Amino acid sequence: MSAPFNIIEKAKQLRDELNYHSKKYYIDDDPEISDFEYDMKLRELSEIEAEYPELKTPDSPVQRIGSTPLEKFGIVKHLVPMMSLSNALNQGEFLDFHSRVVKKTGLHNIKYSIEPKFDGIAVTLIYENGIFIKAATRGDGQQGEDITENVKTIKTVPLRLEREINGIFEARGEVIISKKNFEILNTEREQEKEDPFANPRNAAGGSLRQLDSAITAARPLETYIYGVGQTPYQYESFAEMFDDLKSLGFRINDLHRFHLSCDEVWEVFIEYMKKREDLPYEIDGAVAKVNDFSLHEKLGYTSKAPRWAVAIKFPAQEETTMIRDIMVQVGRTGVLTPVAILEPVKISGAVIQRATLHNMDEIERKDIKIGDRVFVQRSGDVIPKIVKVVKSARTGNEKEFLMPETCPSCLEKIVKDKNQAAYRCVNASCPAQIKEKIRHFASKGAFDIDGFGEKIISQLVDKGLLREYSDIFVLEKDELSALERMGEKSAVNILKAIENSKNQSLDVLIYSLGIRHIGKQASEVIASVFKNMEDFMSAGEEELTAIDGIGIEAAKSIIEFFGNLANRKIIENLFAVNLKINNPEFSKEKKTASFSGKIFVVTGKTQGYKRADIEKIIRDTGGKFSKSISKKTDYLLAGENPGSKLKKAEELGIEIVDIDFLISRI
């Protein structure tokens, strides 16, 4: 039966759209639709071509893999094709895959391996007689881009294997940038007035596609190996192959699991999904493979993917939607934050209807307008954010957003900070500010009052029962019980939590006050210098700026805060409700002042030490910590994958040291 005209037109439309978006994703590193939307279009075209084989064309995305390599790099023909994987978007589709494996092999006790699916750039690494000779991207699966010189700069790629292997050995894996290094890289780019990368995958891809390998060398790229291409060995299983890859010196992910049943694979997939946000790198699913290599030949391949493996995808974390409107929220310091009201969109199982826009500078930088179609990203419980605008979708009916002239909460006139992007309400009695201040005071990291959340605080402020922090500690059971959805038992539990929160350290109290520019770390440093709250409140600018990490702006903010008699009264009222404030930081014995007055800057990753640990060692030995390189810097402590700070330090003639130098002088 020949295809109806409307089906022919639909197939053509889908092919054109998919080829366009494939180029935007693989070639330009500038996607306009999410992975999920692309997968849905590809599936629709695949179903049409399956029903009407005469509609298959050589340029159909269903028939090929990935992209055409960029012409500026040399071309490498793959020794063994780098095939993509078929997808399972839910448990039912994974069970369908398992059923096909069982049917094809005639075996019911199939064992699988499973591994995280990295959201990075697939590469192949070629070794000859144990020496690294070439690297290439996947490209279109048959040939890819020659990225040998760039890959040589990646420290996790062994240039010589741990044992000599006769002939060609080809390892395959993923090039990634960790979440932490991605944030550092984007911060540095913004400081250099360069556009930040949209996500770690784009950052890894952009770093690999540099003609100047020195630029790649400065980027914090990493590799994880998960397979082989051409090899002189005949492995019997993935378990054996991974053991051998590790012995050869390759970096292997430690979350691989082997010899699993179908049900166990799904259990591990759920485990990955739960761990996802805590992992140091981005993953977008898992890959399940038939563990026994002898079954691979029997299962065979489709034109683009092996029948013995499947990619199980997580629910999408990034989607496109439309901005319906932009409203303004008032924070605890009076800062007005624009928030996008979105056409509801489901991301990672949650319906997202809002995304922060941070400030007017951010809106102008990203050219965001009401009515725009945008990419929205959600990571764990972090507030969703708009990644970028799909400008090609604009109709001309979009509207520019203007910051209001009066506060939406108290209607007082707002002011623009001279040296910042912020617009601010300066009315200390603004209800929105009071709610946010008390929410911060009761939050984790501050007084951590269990059960005393945003909705309860909002009701208490609206009823006039909360005006300042001390009011929390004189609340009555009847007042709490009268709130919406609040019974007597819940009220009793909250009162217990309030009473238990009265015993706090000085750094927690300082942080809880919400002084501008004084975060958790700064509060800890301040508490190590001043014995009590009275000493801190009476400190002058010179004394404050002498503290490591406290600059002029922070010092002025502290002085301004305590110079306000209303704030001093608030603190006086807090102590009147019998708070017990201790200061263990001040009572600790200080180590020898080996680096008294010396200024350190830290860059790169140091094995076995967190950044906070290093900063504490520097402070405890009399040194000072700075975030940026200057002529005043005495030492740059450089770890693995140092950023642009290393080059600047070399230019300024600053002494470059490692963690051993620091530890040896404790």
Average pLDDT over every residue of 598-618 = 79
Residue 262: count of CB within 10 angstroms of its CB: 19
Alpha helices in 276-319, H assignment, sequence order: 296-299
**pLDDT tens-digit map of 29-63:** 578 888 888 888 888 888 898 888 888 876 677 75
| Amino acid at residue number 258 | F
For residues 215 and 354, membership in a common domain is answered with no
For residues 518 and 654, membership in a common domain is answered with no
Report the distance separating Cα 371 and Cα 361, nearest Å.
19
Q: Could you tell me the CATH number of the domain that includes residue 611?
A: 3.40.50.10190
**pLDDT tens-digit map of 346-369:** 776 567 899 989 899 999 999 999
Among 232-241, 268-277, 426-435, 627-636, whose mean pLDDT is lowest?
Answer: 627-636
Q: Give residue 289's pLDDT.
A: 97
Q: Give residue 316's pLDDT.
A: 64
Looking at 288, 313, 338, the residue that finishes a domain is 313
70 Rama sector, left if φ>0, alpha if ψ -120 to 50, beta otherwise: beta
Q: What percent of the chain has pLDDT over 70?
A: 93
For residues 237 and 255, membership in a common domain is answered with yes
pLDDT exceeds cutoff 70 at 26: no
> On the CB side of 516, how many CA atoms lie within 13 Å of its CA?
19
With respect to residue 63, please indicate whether it lies within any of the assigned structural domains: no
Report the distance separating Cα 430 and Cα 437, nearest Å.
11
The H or E element spanning position 313 is strand 309-313
Looking at 313, 339, 356, the residue that finishes a domain is 313
Identify the domain containing residue 16 by its residue range: 5-55
With respect to residue 527, please indicate whether it lies within any of the assigned structural domains: yes
With respect to residue 344, please indicate whether it lies within any of the assigned structural domains: yes
pLDDT exceeds cutoff 50 at 286: yes
Residue 405: count of CB within 10 angstroms of its CB: 8
For residues 279 and 401, membership in a common domain is answered with no
pLDDT exceeds cutoff 50 at 68: no
pLDDT exceeds cutoff 90 at 271: yes
For residues 382 and 451, membership in a common domain is answered with no
Q: How confident is the model at residue 593 (pLDDT cuts 50, 70, 90)?
A: low
Give the tokens for residue 383: 């507030």
Looking at 531, 557, 587, the residue that finishes a domain is 587
For residues 491 and 373, membership in a common domain is answered with no
The H or E element spanning position 509 is helix 506-512
pLDDT exceeds cutoff 80 at 156: yes
* Catalytic residue chosen out of the listed positions 41, 111, 117, 289: 117
For residues 20 and 126, membership in a common domain is answered with no
The H or E element spanning position 113 is strand 112-118
pLDDT exceeds cutoff 50 at 414: yes
Q: 168: helix, coil or strand?
A: strand
Please give the residue that has the higher pLDDT: either 425 or 611: 425
What does the DSSP assignment read for 417-466? -SSSS-EEE--TT-HHHHHHHHHHHHSTTTT--TT--HHHHHHHHHTTS-
Q: Could you tell me the CATH number of the domain that includes residue 37?
A: 1.10.287.610
Domains of the chain: total: 5
Beta bridge partners of 306: 301
249 contacts 164 by C-beta, under 8 angstroms = no
pLDDT exceeds cutoff 80 at 129: yes
Q: Give residue 333's pLDDT.
A: 85
630 contacts 651 by C-beta, under 8 angstroms = no
With respect to residue 169, please indicate whether it lies within any of the assigned structural domains: yes
For residues 218 and 110, membership in a common domain is answered with yes
Q: Could you tell me the CATH number of the domain that includes residue 214?
A: 3.30.470.30
pLDDT exceeds cutoff 80 at 577: yes
The alpha carbon of 319 is separated from its chain's Cα centroid by a whole number of angstroms, namely 16
Give the tokens for residue 166: 């006769």
Alpha helices in 252-303, H assignment, sequence order: 262-275, 296-299
656 contacts 649 by C-beta, under 8 angstroms = yes
Give the tokens for residue 279: 């992992």
Report the distance separating Cα 51 and Cα 47, nearest Å.
6
Q: Could you tell me the CATH number of the domain that includes residue 378?
A: 2.40.50.140
190 Rama sector, left if φ>0, alpha if ψ -120 to 50, beta otherwise: alpha
Mention every residue, 6+ apart, whose C-beta is less than 8 A from residue 604: 220, 638, 639, 640, 641, 642, 643, 646
Report the distance separating Cα 643 and Cα 631, nearest Å.
18
Q: Could you tell me the CATH number of the domain that includes residue 540?
A: 1.10.150.20
pLDDT exceeds cutoff 70 at 497: yes
Q: What percent of the chain has pLDDT over 90?
A: 48
173 contacts 223 by C-beta, under 8 angstroms = yes
56 contacts 63 by C-beta, under 8 angstroms = yes
Instruction: Sort strands 143-145 and 75-77 into parallel, antiparallel or unpaired.
Output: antiparallel
Report the distance separating Cα 442 and Cα 454, nearest Å.
10
For residues 392 and 540, membership in a common domain is answered with no
For residues 266 and 392, membership in a common domain is answered with no
Report the distance separating Cα 338 and Cα 353, nearest Å.
14
Residue 27 is given by DSSP the state I
> On the CB side of 70, how many CA atoms lie within 13 Å of its CA?
18
**pLDDT tens-digit map of 372-390:** 999 998 754 456 889 889 9
With respect to residue 471, please indicate whether it lies within any of the assigned structural domains: yes
Strands across the sheet containing 655-657: 624-626, 599-603, 635-638, 655-657
pLDDT exceeds cutoff 60 at 185: yes
Report the distance separating Cα 528 and Cα 537, nearest Å.
14
pLDDT exceeds cutoff 60 at 587: no
pLDDT exceeds cutoff 90 at 326: yes
With respect to residue 420, please indicate whether it lies within any of the assigned structural domains: no
For residues 501 and 522, membership in a common domain is answered with yes
Average pLDDT, the chain: 87
pLDDT exceeds cutoff 90 at 583: no
Please give the residue that has the higher pLDDT: either 227 or 348: 227
pLDDT exceeds cutoff 90 at 465: yes
Q: Give residue 70's pLDDT.
A: 45
For residues 505 and 620, membership in a common domain is answered with no
Q: Give residue 64's pLDDT.
A: 42
Q: Does the annotation mark 520 as catalytic?
A: no
pLDDT exceeds cutoff 80 at 238: yes
With respect to residue 65, please indicate whether it lies within any of the assigned structural domains: no
Average pLDDT over every residue of 504-533 = 90
Q: Give residue 107's pLDDT.
A: 94
Q: Does the pTM of the predicted model rise above 0.85?
A: no
Q: Give residue 383's pLDDT.
A: 67
With respect to residue 229, please indicate whether it lies within any of the assigned structural domains: yes
| Backbone phi, psi, residue 144, to 5° | -135, -175
Beta bridge partners of 640: 605
143 contacts 78 by C-beta, under 8 angstroms = yes
pLDDT exceeds cutoff 90 at 495: yes
Beta strands in 591-639 (DSSP E): 599-603, 624-626, 635-638
